[in-house]
Structure 1
Amino acid sequence: MSYQILQYIKFLLKSTNQHGVHSPFVYNLVTQCFYNKTKYTDYKTILNYRKALLKNNNILNVTDFGAGSHTFKTSERKISEMAKYAGSTLKRAKLLYKICKYFKPDNILEIGTSLGISTHAMSLGNSKSKITSLEGCPNISQFTSNLLNNNNVNIDTGNFSETLKTQDNKPLDLVFFDGNHQKEATISYFESLIETAHNDSVFIFDDIYWSKGMTEAWEIIKQHPKVTVTIDTFFWGFVFFRKEQVKQHFTIRL
């Protein structure tokens, strides 16, 4: 049995919905955002963006600075296959949209642009936000930048450990960690950005059960003294820094 399947079984056994939540902040987030069933008109735009990528058979030569891919074995990759196997699913893109609509973050940092499915969804969720997205591969960066063509999105290209150093130390309202699924790198990025977090910031970690190392990183992040509320949704881990809340962890089914 694979690591992810075993962890998912454990997740299902201990996870709950809004009825197991006694924190008003988390209860409202779950009921008004996570479980929000509104069919927003922007969902069609999100769907069409992803559909166009799934139909694009052009090939990109990819430089991978992260943990590598469970799917791709060569550096030459079809855009359609990248969208299918490495890009955000429609469900996750919609959730990111709802999160940005709910929290209305002004300053967003995304670590790992890829084909911009998540970037696009976040920009629609709050059109007034300023999004800085970091991408390691120059070819992907150029392709996605041309595709998005969005004044609110700035893509910085280079190794994340270097591009993170060039970011000004302004407070960040939302950080989406989706670029390097390695334990040490994830912890390093978190620690380098912890000073940008304020009371209402949210940090979102992608694929916290991608590997044993990623789960270990998630457990370390949960224990950080500045972290108060954490939510495990299996595919994402949410981190909050609300000083008015007692330290508490939630495991929520989406």
Structure 2
Amino acid sequence: MLFQLTSYLKFLLKSQNQHGLHSPFVYDLVTKCFYDKSYHGGYELIKDYRNDLLRNKNLIEVTDFGAGSRVFKSNRRPVFSIAKNAGITLHRAKLIHRLTKYLNINKALELGTSLGIASSAIAANKKTSLITIEGCPETSKVVRKQIKKYDLNNIQLMNTRFETAISQLSPYLKNKQETTDNGQPPNSQPRTDQKFDLIYFDGNHQKQATLNYFKKLLPTAHNDSVFIFDDIHWSPEMEEAWEEIKANPKVQVTIDTYQWGLVFFRKEQQKQDFTIRV
């Protein structure tokens, strides 16, 4: 708790709003997307999807492959409590929806579906095709019902370990014979042409895992892609991971919003790091 308080105070001291931003790209992103107060049609779907989960009192057995939970002491958890305590906030869900629209995202990947609140926010932009990966079988069952209920046909849910899914999506990895959610080994070779406009990393808040996923998925980025890392100030180790990501030579622009770290690869941009309140 003390670490979170200290890191947030440091963030506030360094952070800025739109004033004094000398990058036209970042200035437009902040003023036209981050601080956009206008109504977006996708907001209703996001709110309905999230409220539906907040009313769900069913207990499920959660399989956690990441850093674990600071809130829950047991893996047997009510759905509404997961949505309230572990799911993305409505504020952040609206923001990722605006980002998806503003950046004209066509193909997106999400590592860590949880109950699919962020997934619904991305897919509420019907132009966007989303692949979302969740390791927990029980959580995935809830999400599949939600996807069907809200007609989110542009979401492909993969219930498998991140490593298995990435081996099929990233172009320079061998296709290991691991089972997918249907119990069958993947029969396709890795996609050498697979590129994503957006990748949302929200499933394993550990330094080495975060860096591994970043490096393995780096070949799937193009000049206008954005990578979003959740909980970059979760721990000292996650802050170290964020610093390593920022220093990667392929990374041109980064934005630290405290909860999220956004990474852009725009070769035409001067290499810059921003700390911005949202």
2:220 matched residue in structure 1:
196
CA-to-partner distance for each residue in 1:113-136, whole Å, 9 max, x for gaps?
A: 010100001111x21211000101
Deviations 1:206-235 (A, max 9, x none): 010011111110000000000000000000
Q: Can you list the C-alpha shifts for 1:127-147, whole angstroms capped at 9, x where unaligned?
A: 121100010101111210121
Question: Residue 235 of structure 2 aligns with which residue?
Answer: 211
Aligned to 1:179: 203
Q: Given the alignment of the two structures, is residue 159 of structure 1 paired with residue 161 of structure 2, yes or no?
A: yes
Distance 2:141 2:45 in 1: 21
Matches within 5 A, 1:8-23: 8-23=8-23
TM-score for the superposition, normalised by structure 2 = 0.89
Report the RMSD for the aligned CA atoms in angstroms.
1.0
Structure 2 CA distance for aligned equivalents of residues 20 and 131 of structure 1 = 35
Aligned to 1:230: 254
Q: Give distance in 2, aligned partners of 1:184 and 1:20.
A: 35
The count of corresponding residues between Structure 1 and Structure 2 is: 253
**Aligned residue for 2:129?**
130
Distance 1:203 1:65 in 2: 21
CA–CA distance in structure 2, aligned partners of residues 178 and 30 of structure 1:
22
Task: Give, in angstroms, the shift of residue 151 of structure 1.
Answer: 1.7
Paired AA for residue 182 in structure 1:
Q
**Distance in structure 1 (CA, Å) of the matches to 2:110 and 2:3:** 27
Whole-angstrom distance in 2 between the partners of 1:115 and 1:123: 14
Answer with 1 or 2: which has the greater Rg: 2
The alignment partner of 1:175 has SS state of strand
* Percentage of pairs with the same residue: 53
Distance 2:123 2:41 in 1: 14
TM-score (norm: length of structure 1): 0.97
- Quote the Cα distance in structure 2 between the aligned partners of 1:42 and 1:198: 26
- Contact 2:49-2:146 at 8 Å conserved across structures: no
SS in structure 2 opposite 1:22?
coil
Deviation at 1:41, TM superposition (A): 3.2
**2:198–2:227: 8 Å Cα contact kept in structure 1?**
yes
2:238 matches 1:239: no
Hey, what does 1:107 align to over in structure 2?
107
Distance 1:139 1:211 in 2: 27
Asked if structure 1 preserves the Cα contact closer than 8 Å seen for 2:15 and 2:275, the reply is yes
One-letter amino acid of the counterpart of residue 190, structure 1: F
Per the alignment, residue 118 of structure 1 pairs with: 118
Give, in whole Å, the separation in 1 of the partners of 2:79 and 2:164.
26
Report deviation, 1:158: 1.6
Shift of 1:75: 1.1
| Aligned-pair CA distance for 1:20 | 2.1
Shift of 1:40: 2.0
Q: How many Å separate the matches in 2 of 1:194 and 1:205?
A: 13
Q: Using the TM superposition, give the Cα deviation of residue 237 of structure 1 relative to its aligned residue in structure 2, in angstroms.
A: 0.2
Contact 2:130-2:154 within 8 A present in 1 as well: yes
| CA–CA distance in structure 2, aligned partners of residues 101 and 222 of structure 1 | 25
Quote how far apart the aligned CAs of 1:45 are: 2.2
